[in-house]
Amino acid sequence: MEHKKDEQEQQLTFSVEGMTCASCVRIVERQLKKIEGISYVSVNLATEKALIISQQPIDEGFIREKISETGYTYREDAPTEDLLLKRFAAAKHNLILALSATVPIMILMIGHMAGIMIPGFHYLELISGAFVLALPGRSVVRGAYIAVTHRHTNMDTLVTIGAVVAWLTVPLLLFGMPIASFGALSSMLITFHLAGRYIESRLKYRASTDIRALLSAQSSSANLIISTEGAAPEVRQVSIDTVKKDALVLIRTGERIPLDGEVVEGTGFVDASMVTGEPVPAAAAAGDQMIGGTVLVQGSLTIRVTHTGEDTFLSRMIKLVEQAQSSQVPIQALADQVTKVFIPIVFSIAILTALLWGLFYQQLLPYLSAMAEILPWISLEGGAFSTALSVAISILVIACPCALGLATPMALVAGSGAAAKRGMIIKDGEAIQLAKDIDIILLDKTGTITEGKPSLTYTNLTDAQLAALAAIEAYSIHPLAASIREYAEGRSLRIPEVTKPEEISGVGVSGIVDGRTYHAGRPEHIDAKMEQYMSQGATVIEVTIDQVPAGFAAISDPVKEDSHRAIRQLIDAGIRPVMVTGDQQKTADAAAALVGITEVHASLHPEQKLDIVRSYQKKGHVVAMVGDGINDAASLKAADVGIALGTGSDLSIDSAGIIIVSGALSKLYETIMLSKKTFRTIRQNLFWAFVYNLIALPVAAAALLHPAMAEIAMTFSSINVILNSMRIRSFDPTASAGKHNDTEGERS
């Protein structure tokens, strides 16, 4: 299962350069797991990203040293777009260079196999193979050398051994040994390998465009408003690195909002689709919170900066996506176990099969002759040694576990990127695997099903009592508190000082005002007037003074426009929605009826929400919890899948496995469907990667594959995994809304 980080642990995300296959990943992970204090390690081959969690302070220098010992390179940041493009250019150059030597020798080889005598053909094979190994293929040879000198093997090792052995057949033949020449195969193996590497890198680059799009949404400059005494304010364009919290920034029509902030002046319409996935621009006015990276499509705004640097919402979301792409899905453990022993087994099979062909060649010759009549690439000229050598090379090449190593990482990259594009952040791989089995989804009410923008609609408190209530509510982070303060400020009430303020989650807030103890929380003394408002869906807050009831405030919080549709989609998908809220029963029932929820648990403390999560889990249900407040944090963490709304508290976001940036409840269905699609793709990738090797190895061992064909098949297998993963990016999770059924999720 996925490791869940607790508050005492430290984590570090970085990049590892030079890895080429699942074996490389395993070597790096094994080396890092040896470090004392490290409790979790995950390395993603597709993104080159690594994530470690440690119970002790992390020494980056020591981590760098340990990775260097494996032969690979530690980098603090992920490869930049410029670096990726440079790699593509180098890969393209090497491929063209290799093709320039390989294509002519392939043409000559076909003629030679057809019986055309070409003078000096074997010398041309020798030169061509040496050229390709030494120049365009030197990165492959270097990768193999690094692996061998660090006492492990990887994909480059298998290809290089196959190419070198094939090349050595030429000088052996020239020195008089009775052996078939595989010299042309040497350059062909390296060239096909370089072609596959180039195609893979291009496809990986395309698959990660969604996360790069998020990165591109980050502005590099801001229009800073500078005010000096006795002079008019001046607007100066500066780097966002120099902008501090509380600074004023001007945004004009068409400009990107550089940092998170609150609108203090102006109006406009903001396109937040890049961050939230919502296509329709939203109105913005004074008091509204703005997310950095969104675009002002109309109007002019002045915002006061609230977050800078890595604390901005977009920076945090990008970091979470990158961590998700570095995480593991539990099903990957099976692939890891296979790759752990795969290459040593392949070497053993290659050697054993070659020995068997060498020893029993005469007995197998009738079979081989029959196959040669069907398959033109099978040659009988070389005898036992040549056949044994050809079989060994084919096994070494075709058994490269490239597809197996890419099966999960590529699907994670595509799935998490597609989710981010739609305004959904999947923080860890375990959430993807578990989301497909969700059958109970618990939903908080305030800020989840409702707008979370409540307003005070009635109170029987005196102005002095209301002012005292507003004073103690200033120390509360509950969404309802702000509405009380805004109401009091709107009536221009003088807000008194508070001593000994205290908020108990799920109970209420209290404090001493003018020597008297005020407490605001759920009603204990319900009268007819309270019941009237509660039956209308309003939340009633009772105020006591020195433990004596003084009155109440009724606060209305409208249901989100998409809540009813979201609940309908979940029910149609076979998922049972349940409301869990701290609100009064009548208030909760009224809101539940509006959206179509029939099962309601109300008047709950945070620990009671947690008990409900666990009670469903004990009955065998896979439980998702959706919330946005600090009182939901424990339940979010305990649920099989915690889903937080990006409009909620930082603690709820940190406690969840999935974040819906916009807070739109209709994104729940999209999140679950996209998670199902991603996991289904992982299973497909793993299945075909396993099947490929199960079929390919016996075929190669039976001497039915030419080594060049083995290299092509291996490359095609990897490309097939990547292309299948990229299908996630075009998947529309809303297409099946309303017609979903349980069997649909199992279809490919």
- Model pLDDT for residues 264-304, shown as the tens digit of each residue: 999 999 988 767 666 678 889 998 889 888 889 989 999 99
pLDDT of residue 240: 87
How is the chain split into domains, by residue range? 10-79, 80-207, 219-311, 424-450+559-661, 455-556
Catalytic positions: 444
The arithmetic mean of pLDDT across residues 651-667, rounded, is 78
Mean pLDDT of 569-593: 90
Predicted local confidence at residue 734, as pLDDT: 76
**Residue range 219-311, CATH number:** 2.70.150.10
Please name which of 75, 83, 65 lies closest in space to residue 43, comparing C-alpha atoms.
75
Sign of CA dihedral 436, 442, 448, 450: positive
Domain 10-79 maps to which CATH number in 3.40.1790.10, 1.10.10.10, 3.30.70.100, 3.40.50.1000?
3.30.70.100
For every residue of 201-270, DSSP letters joined together read: HHHHHHHTHHHHHHHHTS-SEEEEEE--TTS--EEEEEEGGG--TT-EEEE-TTPBP-SEEEEEEEEEEE
Whole-angstrom distance, CA of residue 600 vs CA of residue 628: 18
CA 559 to chain centre: 31
How many CB atoms are located within 10 Å of the residue 443 CB? 26
Instruction: Provide, rounded to the nearest whole percent, the portion of the chain with pLDDT above 70.
Output: 89
Residue pair 62/38 in contact by the 8 Å Cβ criterion: no
Q: How far is CA 614 from the centre of its chain?
A: 27
> Tokens for 79?
């490869």
643 φ/ψ angles, rounded to the nearest 5 degrees = -120, 115
Q: Who's near 718: CB < 8 A, 6+ residues apart? A: 196, 200, 402, 403, 406
* Nearest-angstrom CA–CA distance, 228 and 248: 13
User: Torsion-angle region of residue 26: left (phi > 0), alpha (psi -120 to 50) or beta?
Assistant: alpha
Q: Give pLDDT, residue 236.
A: 86
Q: Which among 612, 613, 605, 647 is positioned nearest to 628, based on CA atoms?
A: 647
739 has a pLDDT exceeding 60: no
pLDDT at 515 over 70: yes
Which residue type is seen at 686? Answer: L
**What pLDDT score was predicted for residue 664?**
82
Amino acid at 415: G
At residue 589, φ and ψ (nearest 5 deg) are -60, -40
Q: What percent of the chain has pLDDT over 90?
A: 29
| 576-580 and 599-601 beta bridge pairing | parallel
Q: Coil, strand, or helix at residue 399?
A: coil
Q: Compute the distance between CA of residue 108 and CA of residue 119 in angstroms, rounded to an integer.
A: 10
- Whole-number Å distance between alpha carbons of 78 and 57: 22
Q: Which fold has domain 455-556?
A: Calcium-transporting ATPase, cytoplasmic domain N (3.40.1110)
538-557 pLDDT, tens digit each: 889 999 999 999 999 999 88
Query: What is the Rg, in whole angstroms, of the alpha carbon atoms belonging to the chain?
Result: 32
**Residue 336 pLDDT:** 65
What's 473-525 look like in SS3?
HCCCCCHHHHHHHHHHHHCCCCCCCCEEEEEECCCEEEEEECCEEEEEECCCC
pLDDT digits (tens, 9 = 90+) for 333-358: 666 677 667 777 888 898 999 999 99
Residue 747's pLDDT is: 35
Average pLDDT, the chain: 84
pTM: 0.69
Answer whether 578's CB lies under 8 Å from 559's CB: no
What confidence score (pLDDT) does residue 738 get? 47
pLDDT digits (tens, 9 = 90+) for 101-133: 999 998 888 787 677 888 899 999 999 999 999
Any idea which of 316-320, 579-583, 662-666, 698-702 has the lowest mean pLDDT? 316-320
433 pLDDT above the threshold of 50: yes
- Looking at per-residue pLDDT, the higher value among 278 and 411 belongs to 411
pLDDT surpassing 70 at residue 17: yes
Domains 219-311 and 424-450+559-661 alike in fold: no
* CATH superfamily membership of 424-450+559-661: HAD superfamily/HAD-like (3.40.50.1000)
**What would the pLDDT profile of 213-248 be if each residue is shown by its tens digit?**
666 667 888 899 987 776 778 888 888 888 899 999
- pLDDT one-digit tens code per residue, 146-158: 888 887 777 788 7
Cβ atoms of 28 and 301 closer than 8 Å: no
**pLDDT for residue 400:** 67
Tell me the C-alpha distance between 293 and 314, whole Å.
7
Cα distance between residue 579 and residue 427, in whole Å = 24
User: Got the DSSP string for 321-375?
Assistant: HHHHHHS--TTHHHHHHHHHHHHHHHHHHHHHHHHHHHHSHHHHHHHHHHHHHH-
**Does the structure show a pLDDT above 50 at 744?**
no
Q: What is the pLDDT of residue 551?
A: 94
